[in-house]
Structure 1
């Protein structure tokens, strides 16, 4: 493709993108296909000769689009959203065009300094501790792994990095029963072992029980283990339960543990002063992660990790062979040393575009609108005689189910699963589920960029229609 053709096709794709954003609500939220349907439409062998852009785009429309789940659809209510926005998409286009490799200051000075500045903006706008330093990771899973590895190295005085495990270490990490699976995976990767992740009991709101945490740490100390780290959740994945991070931080300080706060989804809400009850700048923590790519209008991937002591992070990951050394190393942040990846994308550009295009108040307006819609849904559920809320609703995740006292738990679980499946099969809305205390719940997460009361009313009517059919 020559530059002239590139310009022509780029304009063509921008028109397609704009049309998609205007018409995304007209697509089925999730495709009505079976495993293998897309695969079978693709050639067995790669093309030997060049194909025209027109043919590629035609196959994209004909083969790929019918197999896509549309995460940006305003009736996407599953998982947690990975919402985007027009400014973020435009920044992504610039990132791809420049193709910058932002591993060090020298390789992209503007990328490094913009990242430092926008993360200070966000830190201050969220009311976090002003001494914390930030770095952009790809996902919260990576950020949590970085935190656990840093905790491991701090505890071993960086000997494990240099010499490996001696076989005598008996490290323990603590998290609630509703911990995200990325913590389990991090235990594997860090060499600590899944069996050394202690899952602490939760209270009636599904938040970590601080007394149970203290008891677990004390018991392990008596048994010869070395407590290493606590991962608390500012919004669990199942129900967005808020762990008591202040009290957990105090326990960690008392016992000398690393405290990592996983606020991957809910952390964006700290931009709202009325949500600062979840945590403030006095909370004792060593690291904190949140994902702008979940609820801050910034397309995937963009995860922000803040640390109390950047030196701990850098000493855990820094590796500078001769070919990476530069004259500026002593005076700048080389973010390749702040995590696992050597190569780094210019993700700060997306944050800069979003923050400047909306302003902090524009982002807050979106968040408040989502929270207001959540209250509407909660009222609908509470006023329905055969539905019940299964967890508190601190933010914008509603866990609910159909109930009938004459039916067993197993029958109710099956019925609620069938109910959700029948709704999703229509392609008009998309929900996902969890289990709380063994009870199957439908999760309704309201955080899409363009969601409105129209989609709420449509989804509610659809739920009621399918429930009536099941009954």
Structure 2
């Protein structure tokens, strides 16, 4: 029977696993981006029952190579151009290691003073790096907190918006009998609709606002009309979600106009910058934040493009009391002197879960290792590589770019149409060397190439374009015959 791992055993095996991860990072570019095995292949490699006695570490270590790696989609692969990036980095992994080793449960200041205060300061650091309005700093009435994802941030913002729209009565009576409404563009993330369901608003209360066909950004006039119609019909608008960097195309909603409309109607404005918010570490890309002074809450995911491993969503509010009052539940067993003093932040009141791990450590490690200049260099590299790829696409008359590309995502297609574009994507992904995804833009099938993996270089961009160009020749020949 295996007992608890001793400090010496942990030290020895920990060194082995650090070496394993380092070797993986060095070799990941030589692996297929995605596994070729069918569904169920990984499960078939595992025993049907857990071991009766503890296994030796050597067997476990070997199974990482024989069971886990063959079944992985490699998000850190330099040829991973799918979805949005999910960066990690050495400092982030080490920060997570320390947090896991400490094993703190930071639900209250009293249960982890350092966990709470490091998080508060890290969120202020991030706000400063992004040039966010000072109203989001903890030294004002606002402040930041780490959520697990932008989906959770959307839910928390929805609950805060409901609390405001219901005059505080929503917390005791719920949404039954009242018609609350939520607004986002047709390009807004699916998590906004899911948040409305979880909060009890339901699909009937979600308004998908049309976008400009050219920019794919929310139409402020259509938003105003929808708000006016709902108010006239007796509804209570609870939340508007504007997006900086939509998932399909990275469109940027016009915050100044949207913010003024929200202020006029007294509705909570949440800004979802899950992917593109990281770009604001570069001053030349902060144009996306024009109008952010109108926002009640804002979030972005360092775990997408800022070298911080999943999960880590940075969420700020301009008025923390508005958030806390919507979410606070205080059972007797959580009462303590520090909380009662009012002198501390208890992050249990800032999100859905009570329990909280020490996620701020990886942010601390990342920001201290890279500094502002290192993070800016990473973002600028992605933007530059995307621009290089877009220039190659634009120079080939067989292709067209279908949306603006201010960040590191390029949306493009074959002019020959949907079937040809879909076949092209299938051929590229079948090589195992690169992985792209698709979306629909104004009804047309479009390929998405999202750059962001730390190891991606000009050579990878040039090679994927070469593959696309060659495959396009074959695809177009087949469709012409």
- The structure 1 residue matched to 2:347, chosen from 332, 335, 350, is 335
Question: Are 1:50 and 2:59 matched, yes or no?
Answer: no
Distance of 1:182 and 1:166 partners within structure 2: 22
Alignment check: 8 A CA contact 1:271 1:364 kept: yes
**Per the alignment, in what secondary structure is the counterpart of residue 435 of structure 1?**
strand
Q: Residue 37 of structure 1 aligns with which residue?
A: 41
Question: Are 1:177 and 2:150 matched, yes or no?
Answer: no
Distance of 1:356 and 1:17 partners within structure 2: 22
Q: Residue 234 of structure 1 aligns with which residue?
A: 244
Equivalences for 1:236-251 in 2 at 5 Å? 236-251=246-261
- Note the aligned Cα RMSD (angstroms): 1.2
Equivalences for 1:4-403 in 2 at 5 Å? 4-132=8-136, 133-167=143-177, 169-203=178-212, 204-280=214-290, 283-329=293-339, 330-403=342-415
Distance of 2:407 and 2:92 partners within structure 1: 24
Q: Give the CA deviation at 1:292.
A: 0.5
**Per the alignment, in what secondary structure is the counterpart of residue 242 of structure 2?**
strand
Distance of 1:223 and 1:233 partners within structure 2: 27
Q: Residue 452 of structure 1 aligns with which residue?
A: 457
Q: How many residues are paired up?
A: 463
Distance of 2:351 and 2:292 partners within structure 1: 26
Q: Give the CA deviation at 1:426.
A: 1.4
Q: Give the CA deviation at 1:415.
A: 2.3
Q: Residue 436 of structure 1 aligns with which residue?
A: 441
Alignment check: 8 A CA contact 2:78 2:456 kept: yes
Deviations for 1:148-174, whole angstroms, at most 9, x for unmatched residues?
A: 01100111122222223341x111111
Q: Residue 139 of structure 2 aligns with which residue?
A: none
Distance of 2:236 and 2:355 partners within structure 1: 34
Gapped runs of 5+ residues in structure 2?
A: 137-142, 477-481
Distance of 2:281 and 2:175 partners within structure 1: 41
Q: Residue 407 of structure 1 aligns with which residue?
A: none
Q: Give the CA deviation at 1:86.
A: 0.9
Gapped runs of 5+ residues in structure 1?
A: 405-411
**Per the alignment, in what secondary structure is the counterpart of residue 457 of structure 1?**
helix
Runs of 4+ in 1 over 6 A off after TM superposition: none
Distance of 1:388 and 1:148 partners within structure 2: 38
Q: Give the CA deviation at 1:282.
A: 5.7
**Per the alignment, in what secondary structure is the counterpart of residue 294 of structure 2?**
coil
TM-score scaled by length of structure 2 = 0.94
Distance of 1:223 and 1:158 partners within structure 2: 22
**Per the alignment, in what secondary structure is the counterpart of residue 103 of structure 1?**
coil
Alignment check: 8 A CA contact 1:127 1:281 kept: no
Greater Cα shift, 190-199 or 122-131: 122-131
Distance of 1:276 and 1:215 partners within structure 2: 29
Alignment check: 8 A CA contact 2:394 2:401 kept: yes
TM-score scaled by length of structure 1 = 0.96
Distance change (3 Å), C-alpha of 1:256 and 1:281? closer
